[in-house]
Every structure is written in C-alpha cells, then in structure tokens.
Amino acid sequence: MTENLELYDVTFIGGGPAGLYGAFYSGMREMKTKIIDAQNELGGTMLFFLDKMVWDVGAIPALTGRELTDQLVRQARTFDPAIALSQEIVGLERLDDGTFILTSTAGDRHWTKTVIMAIGYGGLRKVRKLEIEGAVRYESSNLYYTVENLEDFRGKRVVISGGGDSAVDWANELEPFAASVTVVNRTDKFKGLERSVSRMKASAAVRTHYQIEMLHSEDGQAIDKVTICHVETGQREQLDTDALIVSHGATYEYGKLRDWGLGIGKDILAVTDKMESQIPGISAAGDFVSYGSKVKLITGAFNDVVLAVNSAKQYIDPHAAKMARISTENARFDELNKQFVNN
C-alpha cells in the first residue's frame, strides 16, 4: 500500500513558525523532511498579521509579519524539504513496520517514519462573531473580524471590541493610521505584553466594562454609530464610527485528529518535556502543545520544535546525538558560506 510513495524521516503537519523552523532544524539533523499545510501558502498564523510589526523575536529588532514569514520560509528551504500545500491532513494509519501514512481530505497520502504536529490551534478555526441581529450584513462594508490591511483604516474613527492580544495589537498598529481608536471591553483585563497594553492605554480611548449592544446605519449599508452598554450599570452611550473591528477570539475544532488517540484536550495536547505525544513516533510543537511553562509565542514555538525534532531523530535512531551540533560544524553551511563570501 506504500508503492509510489516516498518515505520521509519526518513530516511536519503545519507550516507556521513551528513547522518552518522545525524543517530547517531537521535538515541540520540530516533528516529527509516534508512540510504539509492546509493553507495554500506557508506562514501559519503569521499570514493573519502580515502588516503588523513583530518586535519580540530574538535577534530581530522589528519586522513586519510579512518579512518574518519570508525569512522563516527562506530558512526552512535551506535543506530543500518537500512542501505540500492546500492539504488538510485528517487520517493517520500506523503500519506494521512502525511507519505512518497520513491522508488529506482530498485523499493525498504521505509516508513518514515520524510526525511532528505543528498545527497551532488547528485547521478549523472559527472566529467568534458579534451576536447582534443583522450584524452579518455589515461584513461586506465596515464590520471586520480581522485586520488585513492597515491602509483600509486610514483617517477613520475605529472602534475595536475585545480585550485579547489581537485587540490590543490592532489598537496599537492602527493608532498612526486611524483618526481615532476606541477599545471597548467587557472587563478591565487585557491580554498581551504589558508594554503593549500600556501603549494602548496611552494612545487609545479605552472603555472598560462596556459591550457593544446595537449597530446603527443611516444608509443601511455601513455602520455609522454603535451603542455601548455598561455591563454592570446598564448605562448606554453612542460612539460615532467608520469601522468596527470585533476581536472576540475563536473556537477551535480538531475534527478527525481527535480520533487519532493522541489525547487532545479541550484546545490542546499535553506533551512530555521532549515534546512527545502518547503515540511513539509522533511529537508536537508550537501553539498546539501544553506543558507547565509553555510560551504561546513564536519564540516558544522555535524552542518546542527543536525538542520535537530531537525526539524524532532519536526515535528513528536511539543512538543519535541528543541535539544537533552547532551550525558551523554542518557541511551544508560550508557550501552556503562560500556563496556568501563570493557575493
């Protein structure tokens, strides 16, 4: 049943920061590598904040999400991994020899000795929508659930509903573009880096303990006002707006992956300190995993995936070194170093 299939040492399900950096690192460990992603391009969640500045990745003072994605993809390609896009993996079969066959929704099959699940919050992310009757009609005009292009908001009075990382980040990113930014949050708690929250509070109008209650539109096409209501006192107020951004998070479903016997919890997978799952040969990394000190950021994904790759390497060869040697000792870099010197 594996005829015509090429066997890989390691296959990453997910081509976000964990899968991309993992593909580079598994190349350093001389493993034949494949990356599969359900989206039609690599980058994972970073594709949702291409215009945002990212400040908190080591050795990179500041880059846009787009630049960071490009750099990670370039680095991931160093050892020429196979890349399969637009393939959502749903099936897993373990063969008698311990190898695995992964199957996509369209029936594509992939043969691999080990699997690294770098699926973030999963392929079936459903944004929590604004629960106000008729809101859906404004989704084609000025009700947004994500910010794709900061320029769309230039000179506008923007209202953001939510208190999570994305709400805070967007408030800060939009501040130089928008005429005004007002953040409406049900509580006085905001998630995100302390510095980002302080910056938002200094530059945006912040209305805590309020929620959006009603949308108004004079022309019936676009929202021009929202009514906000105090969650404790019931006091109401109207805010003029040209753009409403709703950032109420998302729900996640792992669909058929739950049937694999990995022990996926409500949103995530518990792993060992080597990023191993309950199934020998399958490890995991990035936002998908959970352990005591887990950091759900790009930096955390990099660290996890190095451990996951080392586990995969030792699963294939129990005598292999615990980790890769430093990059200067890798023959592939000797060749690449020459190219740098010659350019």
Binding residues: 37, 49, 89, 124, 287, 328
Q: Which is nearer to ligand FAD, 89 or 243 (CB)?
A: 89
Figure out which of the listed residues 8, 9, 10, 17 binds ligand FAD, where binding follows CB under 6 A. Answer: 17
x/- track of binding to ligand FAD for residues 296-325 (CB under 6 A)? xxxx-x------------------------
- Least separation in angstroms between residue 51's CB and ligand FAD is 11
x/- track of binding to ligand FAD for residues 23-42 (CB under 6 A)? -------------xxxx---
Figure out which of the listed residues 27, 44, 163, 281 binds ligand FAD, where binding follows CB under 6 A. Answer: 44
Cβ partners under 8 Å of residue 131, min gap 6: none
**What number of CA atoms fall less than 13 Å from residue 125's CA on the CB side?**
17
Q: Which is nearer to ligand FAD, 24 or 222 (CB)?
A: 24
Q: Which is nearer to ligand FAD, 4 or 40 (CB)?
A: 40
**Using an 8 Å Cβ cutoff, are 14 and 118 in contact?**
yes
Figure out which of the listed residues 8, 10, 13, 246 binds ligand FAD, where binding follows CB under 6 A. Answer: 13
Q: Is 145 in the site for ligand FAD (CB under 6 A)?
A: no
Q: 338 exposed, middle or buried (CB, 10 Å; 0-12, 13-18, 19+)?
A: exposed
Q: Using DSSP bridges, classify how beta strands 82-84 and 33-36 pair: parallel, antiparallel or unpaired.
A: parallel
Figure out which of the listed residues 28, 31, 35, 54 binds ligand FAD, where binding follows CB under 6 A. Answer: 54
Three-state DSSP class for residue 76: helix
Tell me the sheet residues that pair with 289. 269
> How many residues in the shown chain lie near ligand FAD by CB under 6 A?
37
The helix (run of H) or strand (run of E) holding residue 110 is: strand 109-117
Figure out which of the listed residues 28, 31, 115, 118 binds ligand FAD, where binding follows CB under 6 A. Answer: 118
Helix crossing, 194-203 with 165-174: angle to 10°? Answer: 50
CA dist 175 → 47, 87, 275 (Å): 21, 37, 39
- Least separation in angstroms between residue 343's CB and ligand FAD is 31
Q: Is 281 in the site for ligand FAD (CB under 6 A)?
A: no
Window 193 to 252, contacts with ligand FAD (CB under 6 A)? none
Reference 76, options 125, 37, 122; nearest CA is 37
Q: Which is nearer to ligand FAD, 247 or 330 (CB)?
A: 247
Q: Is 181 in the site for ligand FAD (CB under 6 A)?
A: no
CA dist 199 → 74, 153, 195, 265, 268 (Å): 33, 19, 6, 35, 31
Q: Is 76 in the site for ligand FAD (CB under 6 A)?
A: no
CB atoms within 10 A of CB 194: 8
Figure out which of the listed residues 72, 119, 204, 264 binds ligand FAD, where binding follows CB under 6 A. Answer: 119
- Least separation in angstroms between residue 65's CB and ligand FAD is 7
Binding residues for FAD, as ranges, are: 37, 49, 89, 124, 287, 328
C-alpha torsion 125→129→131→134, nearest 10: -130
Residue 151 DSSP label: G
Contact positions vs ligand FAD (CB under 6 A): 13-19, 36-39, 44-46, 48-49, 54, 56, 88-89, 118-123, 165-166, 169, 286-288, 296-299, 301
